[in-house]
Amino acid sequence: MAVPWSRCWRSSTGASVLLDWCCGFSRRAFTHATSAGRRTDGSTAATQVLFWQGPVYNFNKPITIARHRNRCLYTTPQVCCSIRSDAKLKDPFSLAQKDLQNLYEDIKKQLLVSKAELKALCDYYFDGKGKAFRPMIVILMARACNVHSNKEGVLLPAQRSIAMISEMIHTASLVHDDVIDDSDTRRGKNTINKVWGERKAILAGDFILSAASMALARIGNNTVVSVLSQVVEDLVRGEFMQLGSKENENERFKHYLEKTFKKTASLIANSCKAVSILVNSDPEVHEIAYQYGRNVGIAFQLVDDILDFTSSANLLGKPSAADLKLGLATGPVLFACQQFPELHAMIMRRFSSDGDVDRAWQYVLKSDGVEQTNYLAQHYCQEAIQQISRLRPSTERDALIQLTELVLRRDK
């Protein structure tokens, strides 16, 4: 039987650092309580962490929005949608579909080149078969911020451009990731580096990124340019962080979450912030948009790390256990290490010895690492809801709330 989500992390060593990072909160919101945990093979008495000793957030109940001092924010206390709400809300993807029409065609127009082979390389992943998850969030956030700012939700051309740019930056990072990881498949088909080779793949990723930079410059807003430029820096720093590991468990959890933010969540967070800047001058609104994107982005990656252990290769569009084979210790492994200390040595040698991947896989499945990572993703989604609920009610705001449930429930 699953432990209550409010009692999820059971390591006194990793928890304090984890909580500092979790949703951007400091430890003032949490209380540590030591108790004897259940024992499994290789585990010892454990420390439980009780979250939110003030109001206890229950995923089966609606969330009450507290008053906020800023008059520009939505301050009337009322109940908003919860992750498990049965309310009939419009599907976020359907709601953004009209604004995302011809998105990939518009991206291809940004990639116009005379050389046929380079064009084929750049168009390879812009075939319309992607989820367009990031542009969808950006569109919904833009409209939610517009409604909040009394703009009647009308999408600005520059806001749609940011949605397009976010997909271009994301795709360029995928092309480079596949080269670094020597991946064979992506989205159910051969990777660019396997079809055209590593050198041309790197050049294609660079070209897509340069085209995104040109599109960003055409928006003509220096603040927006600065915000989205941070994404590129974070992607590079996150990739370097992924190449290393930490001996100390405290540092290891912090390293993992910071890397997750830089490689995945920074793009979503800063894209959401950028569209809010275009329509509202209030820094608190910018922070709401940023924190929603940050928390949803981290939750998205945590679920992705779970799926590496629970989903089949056919559903994922890439081999399962891919992270272990790359030497990466993700959330499920780090939590499993608390119950199976044997994993520590494997993590430090990046699962490079014969049999390491298979043994680590079995340890994760025997532990509650997947369960605990899922609890962590839930907590990030809960904070995303708390943030976006501070905006004025709108169909788009409610869709962003519903999106947190889709993030947690996705299977690919």
Residue 312 has pLDDT above 80, yes or no: no
Q: Does 216 or 184 have the greater pLDDT score?
A: 216
Q: Which of 196, 132, 193, 221 lies closest to 168 in space, CA to CA?
A: 132
Cβ atoms of residues 323 and 308 within 8 Å:
yes
- Least confident window among 106-110, 239-243, 248-252, 353-357: 248-252
Q: Is the pTM of this model over 0.85?
A: no
409 or 115, higher pLDDT: 409
Given a cut of 90, whether residue 88 has pLDDT beyond it is no
Lowest mean pLDDT among 37-41, 53-57, 137-141, 224-228: 53-57
Closest among 138, 161, 157 to 293, alpha carbons compared:
138
Residue 316 above 90 pLDDT? no
CA distance 268 to 390: 19
Residue recorded with tokens 């990030």 = 380
Q: Give the integer Cα–Cα distance in Å for 100 and 87.
A: 25
Distance CA 328, CA 245 (A): 9
Contact by Cβ (8 Å): 162, 228: yes
- Residue range 62-70: average pLDDT? 36
**Percentage helix, strand, coil, to 5, in the chain?**
65, 5, 35
Amino acid 123: pLDDT: 86
Q: What is the mean pLDDT of the chain?
A: 80
Distance CA 311, CA 409 (A): 12
- State yes or no: pLDDT of 39 exceeds 70: no
Judged against a pLDDT cut of 50, whether residue 108 lies above it is answered with yes
Which tens digits make up the pLDDT trace of 253-300?
A: 999 999 999 999 999 999 999 999 999 999 999 999 999 999 999 999
Considering only CA atoms, which of 149, 278, 284, 163 is closest in space to residue 221? Answer: 278
Q: Is the pLDDT of residue 8 over 70?
A: no
Least confident of 17-21, 384-388, 399-403: 17-21
Ranking 30-34, 141-145, 154-158, 347-351 by mean pLDDT, the lowest is 30-34
Tell me, what's the pLDDT at 191? Answer: 93
CATH numbers and ranges of domains, the chain = 92-408 (1.10.600.10)
pLDDT value of position 64: 33
In the structure, what pLDDT confidence band is assigned to residue 61 with cuts at 50, 70 and 90?
very low
Tens of pLDDT along 200-229? 999 999 999 999 999 999 999 999 999 999
pLDDT score at 24: 47
CA-closest candidate to residue 250, choices 50, 11, 6? 11
**What integer pLDDT is reported at residue 152 of this predicted model?**
81
Q: What percent of the chain has pLDDT over 70?
A: 76
Task: Tell me: pLDDT of 80 over 50.
Answer: no
User: Measuring CA to CA, how many Å separate 369 from each of 222, 302, 329, 403?
Assistant: 43, 12, 12, 24
Q: Which of 64, 48, 65 is nearest to 3 (CA)?
A: 48
Quick count: other Cβ atoms within 10 Å of Cβ 66?
11
Q: Are 381 and 59 in contact (CB under 8 A)?
A: no
Task: Say how far apart CA 203 and CA 119 lie, in whole Å.
Answer: 12
Predicted confidence (pLDDT) at residue 146 exceeds the cutoff of 90: yes
pLDDT at 317: 55
Instruction: State the pLDDT confidence band at 27, using cuts at 50, 70 and 90.
Output: very low
pLDDT at 73: 59
Task: Please identify which residue in the block is written with the tokens 């093979």.
Answer: 41
Single-letter amino acid code for the residue at 143? R
The confidence score (pLDDT) of residue 269 equals 98
Compute the average pLDDT of residues 66-82. 41
Q: Would you place residue 129 in the very low, low, confident or very high pLDDT band (cuts 50, 70, 90)? A: confident
What pLDDT does 125 receive?
Answer: 87
Which residues, other chains included, contact 141 with Cβ-Cβ below 8 Å and sequence gap of 6+?
Answer: 272, 275, 276, 289, 292, 293, 396, 400
Tokens of 342: 């044997």
Q: Determine the average pLDDT of the residues in 216-244.
A: 95
Q: What average pLDDT does the segment 132-155 reach?
A: 93
| Region 47-75 average pLDDT | 36
User: Would you say the C-alpha torsion 102, 103, 108, 111 has a positive or negative sign?
Assistant: positive
How far apart CA 308 and CA 42 sit, in angstroms, is: 24
pLDDT at 36: 31
Contacts 24+ apart (CB under 8 A), 180-189: 180/239, 181/322, 181/326, 183/318, 183/322, 184/319, 185/317, 185/318, 185/319, 186/125, 186/317, 186/318, 187/125, 187/129, 187/130, 187/317, 188/317
Tokens of 225: 């340019």
Give φ, ψ of 375 to 5 degrees: -60, -40
Residue from 90, 82, 162, 65 nearest 387 by CA: 65
- Separation of alpha carbons 43 and 36, rounded Å: 11
